[in-house]
Each structure stands twice: as C-alpha cells, then as structure tokens.
A and B are shown apart, each in its own frame.
Chain A
Amino acid sequence: METRRTFCAALTALAAGAWLPGCRDKAAPGPGGGAGRLRIAVIPKGTTHEFWKSVHAGAVKASRELDVDIVWKGPLKEDDLKSQIDLVQSFTAQRVSGIVLAPLNDKALVASVNGATRAQIPVVVFDSGLSGGEVVSFVATDNRAAGRLAGGRMVKLLEGKGRIVVLRYQEGSASTREREDGFLEAVKKGGLQVVSDNQYGGATTQTAFAASESVLLARGADKGEIDGVFCPNESTTFGMLLALEKAKLAGKLRFIGFDASDKLVAAVRSGDIDSLVLQDPFKMGHLAVKTLVDKLRGQAVEARIDTGASLADKGNLDAPEIAALLKPDLAPWLGK
C-alpha cells in the first residue's frame, strides 16, 4: 500500500511536469537557445491591463530588432509587491543577462535591485522611479514636462485669463505630484489664477468623485466661478467627469485630464473633456529593453530617458499617431 501511495505521488508530479516542455517552446526559447544570446527579464506591475500589454508589445519589438530573448513575467497577482520582489530575486538567482523593471513601490524594490546589480545583472527601471538603488537608466514619461504640456494647453484654451482648480491624486505619489507641479508652473506663467490646488482625489474613482463634488461646490462651479479643471491621472479624471456630469457642468468649463480609457475618450468626442494627456507605453517597453541591451553591449546610455507625452483632443482623436496611442495595434507583436 505504501508503494502505491508513493507511486501516485510520483505519477502526479510527472503528469504535472508533462505540461512544461510544450509550454516552454511557445513561451520563450530556453536558456540553452544559442550560446551568448542575451536573455532579458521584463517585469511589469501587472499583466492584464491594457497599459502593460502595450509595454509588452514594445518590448517584443525591441527584442526582435536587437536579436535578444525576453522573458515577460509579471506578479502572479496583479500589483502584488511581494511577488514582484520574489520575481526580481528569482531572475537574479537565474542569472539572466539583465532585468527591466517597473517597480510597484519606490522603496521596497531597492534591496532586490541592488542585489541584482551586485550580481552583475544590470537593471533598467521604467514607468515609475526608485528612491536610490543602483540602476542603469530610468525610462519613463517626464511627468513634469507632461504637466507643463497640459498647462500650456489650458492657457491657450482660456486665452490667458481664468480661474483654475487642480484635483491632486494622492499624497506620496511622486509621478502625479510632478504632473500637478508642471501644470501649476505653466498656468501660473500663463497668467491664470489657481483657486484650489490642495484637494486630493485619493486612490479610487469613488473617492475622486466625492472630492470632485466637494471642490466644485466649495469653489462655486455652479455659479460659473471656475473656468478650468486639471486632473493628473485616470481615476481623478474619471471621478471629476462624473461629478461634472452630475452637476450638469460638463462641457461648460475647460477640462484637461490625464491617461485614457474608453469612457474618457468618449467624453473627449462629446466635448465634455477638452484634452487628455497620453503617455506612450509601447515606446516605454521598447526603449527600456533597447537601453538595457545597449548597456550590455558596451554602449553609453542616458541615465534618464523621456518617452514623451501627447495631447489628444476632439480634433486629433482619429489622427494616426493619436489613434495608435489610444488603440495600439498589438497583434504583430503579441500575435493576437
């Protein structure tokens, strides 16, 4: 009877293992695929969101152009800090040629990143920064410049005169803070008056909606005392849009948001939102892998690489370069 139990256990393990070889061929060429071929781990914050699919497509494009292998592996649970730390450690133990990482937290990933660097595995960070940590390069949207871009558009929309509300995202979020500061810098320079910039939308659309309603009411939006609104990310933009719609103010004041979703794009089309600042995740994935490969091949690389931002509005939604950001064609890269 004991032998039977043992046999069963062994059988289970074998049955489970039988999956692997087939999957491996499809997923990535094995480590033995060609001597000296670079193998690069790309670790996003998650794998299911549209944003990360674009990053993935960009990384695949770079890997084809530069003739390297990439292993695309996000945390098993979306946005799970512990699994991301585990992944960086596993890839370090595995001695991949290099790691491209979008850290979920600016402090918690520092130790693992330094561990990789100590093991002579260079790390390129993209999307969000690290506080400290030895990295080759940081590839991301220059958020301050993106904020200034939005601010410049607001000045133009209001012709240099008007009262502005900024709904901030969240305390301690570095990327959105830079967007807010860049925006404020530009609108102040352009002669606009900022009547509120100390309200925070918080993490979710729900909290952003509540904060939007309060600030609109407090600043007399219904009496026409606000001329323009800026929100620094998707959730605050959507929360503000809902609040404006509920107060029947949508379209009556100038509204610039950040990032895109189907609902936000529809609002741009209907005129409820004047402009959206768009980032370029495809370029982010592409440049992050390319920068790492350049470094591995002994070329000098920049410590900070801006992947740029663009403004979408009613007039250019269907222009090819904007449409490519809103609905990127990922099929050639991801094969779906």
Chain B
Amino acid sequence: MKAWLARPWFGPLVALVVVYLLFVWLSPDTFARSVNLSTMARQTVVVAIAAVGMTYVIIHGGIDLSVGSAVALTTVVIARVLERGSGPLVAVLAGVAVASLAGAINGLLVARLRITPFIVTLGTMGALRGAAKGLADEQKVDADPSGLDQLMSALSPSSPWLLPAGVWIALAVAGLAALALGYTVFGRHVVAIGSNVRTAELCGVPVARVTILVYALAGALAGLAGVMEFSTLTVGDPTDSIGLELAVIAAVVIGGGSLAGGQGSIAGAMVGAVLMTVIRTGCTHVGVPNWVQEILTGAIIVAAVGLERLRRRR
C-alpha cells in the first residue's frame, strides 16, 4: 500500500475517481453509461498521445508549445497526400514524418543554438501554423479519408475490440514510452538531464543528441496525435487545435510533471488527460455554461500545480 501511495500518479488518480463519481452523482442516468465511457476514451486520444511526448520534453527540462500547430499541420499534410490519390499508409507516414522533422528542428535549435525551449517552440508554434495555412490555401482541405476515419469511429456494439483502434494505439504508445523511460539508457539520460544538466554532462551523457531525440520524439508523437485528429475531423484543418499545447501541458502537470524538469510520469499524464476529458464531458452532461467550465478547468490546473509545489517543498 505504501508503495502505491508513493507513486506520482496516485494523487491525480484519486482526483480523477472523485471527479468522475461526482459527475456520476450529478448526472446518474447518462454519465456512467458504457457508451459515454468509450466516447470519453476516444476524445482523450489526441491529448493523451501528445502528452506522452510532452512528458519526455518536460522531464528533460524543456517545454514544447508547437504541439497544437504540429497537429494541425499533420492533418493538412495527410489531407493533401490523400487528395493526390496516395494510399492511407503513405499519407500517415508523410504526416508523421513532417511532424518529426519539425520536432527535430526544435531540438536542434535548443541543443545547438542554446535558445530556451520556450522561445524556440513559441517561434515554431507560429511557423508551423503558418505552414499549415499555406499548405491548405487558408481553408479546410477535403479529401476522402480512405478508411483512416475508422481509427476513431465508434464501433458497432458487437465488436470484440470494445474500443476503437485509436484508443488501443494510444495505450500501446503510452505503455512503450513508460517502459522506455524507466528501463532504457535513453530514458535514464532524459531524467538525468532534467534533474541537473551540468552533472549529466560531467557524467558523460550526450546532452545535445538526447535533446534532439527528445524533441523529435515529441514531434513524431504530435504527428501521431495529428493522425488521430484527422481521423476525427475527416478534413485537413489548418486552424485546428489552437491551444492544444496548453491542454497537453496541463495533462502532464496534473500528472505530476515538474516544469523544472527531472520529474513526471507517463501514467500520471494519462490520468491528467482523462481527468480533463471527464471535466469537459461532465460539464456537457450537467449543462454547465461554457464560461463556468473554463473557470473550472483553469482552477483544477492551478490546483494541480499547487499540489506539485507542495510535493516539491517536502
């Protein structure tokens, strides 16, 4: 029991359960239905996948503000490639490749030019958004989704898979990333750099290479999140996901990630992502006006950061 309590994701998990039960109590006829659970799972996928990458970046001691723009750019790239008549696999690979490249550029600028990640990704946030709009001729790009929409479609009730493919992919990605973070040299290096970059350097950690890899990984995962976003939208939308980066950062922070680096957990970030979906969906079910919902979500994020401070003080 002690070991469970010590886990970084335990606090957020308790919060999630409490908030969930609260909405079940407020909206008993509708909120606990299984179809609502699978709908919420689907609606968490994009933030969850992006949060896996963001967890790495934040543990590494950085931040990535360009996630939302990278997701939008990916949807546009996929739509454009499909429009030319290529198959869905080619489109997905092209989308993920573009986002990974953007991530690698973030990493290069941070590692080589030694500009703070906040500034670098603030810049690429704008640049990628512009690129998405340019590639899309400043409008939504229609293309036949060629089966990609199935990744995130509701399944027929008789399907043995329970949840759409996108949810399983997100879970698999999170599982692999958590293992890599805990049990590989790369994962140890990321934590070491985030804890104390000078010490890590002295101990022979290849800081620049790991930095570039971390941002490229975050880019690739933003690309995968973009694939799921395209699957939901079925059009390439250059104005999509404005502000998504803030939801993703919030998920990581709620899950115990420290913006000072060195701390964070994939499981916690997943709990954080689900918590935000539960709040949003719950507010819809209960009929809370948008402005209250925004205040509420903001309050919960601040409360989560407050918790993180309390924990670090000890």
The interface of chain A, by Cβ under 8 A from chain B, is 1-3, 5-6, 8-10, 12-17, 19-21, 23-24, 27-28, 30-32, 47, 71-74, 76-77, 79-82, 85-87, 89-95, 105, 107-108, 110-111, 115, 119, 170-172, 202-203
Distance in angstroms from A191 CB to nearest chain B CB is 36
- Give the 8 A-B CB pairs with smallest separation, nearest first: A2-B5, A13-B18, A28-B287, A9-B11, A12-B303, A93-B36, A93-B39, A17-B22
The CA of A17 and the CA of B18, in the complex, are separated in Å by 9
- Across-interface contacts of A91 in B (CB, < 8 A): 284
Which of B15, B19, B149, B284 makes the CB contact (< 8 A) with A90?
A: B284
Task: Give chain B's interface residues, CB within 8 Å of chain A.
Answer: 2, 5-6, 10-12, 14-15, 18-19, 22, 26-31, 33, 35-36, 38-40, 42-43, 46, 138-140, 142, 149, 153-154, 229, 232-235, 237, 239-243, 279-281, 284-290, 292-294, 296, 299-300, 303-304, 306-307, 310-311, 314
Determine the chain A residues whose CB is within 8 A of the CB of B280 once the complex forms: 76, 86
Main secondary structure of the interface of A (DSSP, over half): helix
Asked if residues B299 and A5 are in contact (CB atoms below 8 Å), the reply is no
Instruction: Please tell me which one of the listed residues A1, A9, A82 contacts residue B233 in the complex, with CB atoms under 8 A apart.
Output: A82
Instruction: Contacts A17-B22, A32-B29 known; list 13 others, CB within 8 Å.
Output: A9-B18, A12-B15, A14-B22, A23-B289, A23-B292, A27-B286, A31-B285, A82-B46, A82-B233, A87-B284, A92-B35, A93-B281, A111-B149
Residues of A within 8 A of B39 (CB): 89-90, 92-93
Contact A170 B139 (CB under 8 A): yes
Question: What's the nearest-Cβ distance from chain B to residue A134, in Å?
Answer: 15
Q: How far, in Å, is A332 (CB) from chain B's closest CB? A: 19
Q: Are A5 and B310 in contact (CB under 8 A)?
A: yes
Question: When the two chains form their complex, are residues A2 and B36 in contact, meaning their CB atoms are under 8 A apart?
Answer: no
Q: List 30 A-B contacts (CB under 8 A).
A: A5-B5, A5-B310, A9-B307, A10-B18, A12-B307, A13-B15, A14-B22, A15-B299, A16-B19, A16-B279, A20-B26, A20-B296, A23-B286, A24-B26, A28-B287, A30-B286, A31-B285, A76-B293, A81-B140, A81-B233, A81-B235, A81-B237, A89-B42, A94-B36, A94-B285, A105-B237, A108-B234, A110-B234, A119-B35, A203-B138
- Given the complex, which residues of B lie within 8 Å of A80, measured CB to CB? 240, 242
Docked-complex contact A107 and B142, CB < 8 angstroms: yes
Contact B234 A111 (CB under 8 A): yes
Chain A, Cβ-Cβ closest to B300: A16
Q: Is the interface of B mostly helix, strand, loop or mixed?
A: helix
* Alpha-carbon distance between A119 and B154 when the two chains are bound, in angstroms: 11
Interface centre among B154, B229, B285, B290 (most CB of A within 10 A): B290
A11 and B205 CA atoms in complex are apart in Å by: 41
Interface contact A21-B19, CB-CB below 8 Å = no
Max chain A Cβ within 10 angstroms of own Cβ: one of B42, B138, B289: B289
Question: Do A27 and B287 form a contact, CB below 8 Å, given A77-B243, A93-B30?
Answer: yes
B311 nearest in chain A by CB position: A5
Point out the residues of chain B lying under 8 angstroms from A115, CB to CB: 154
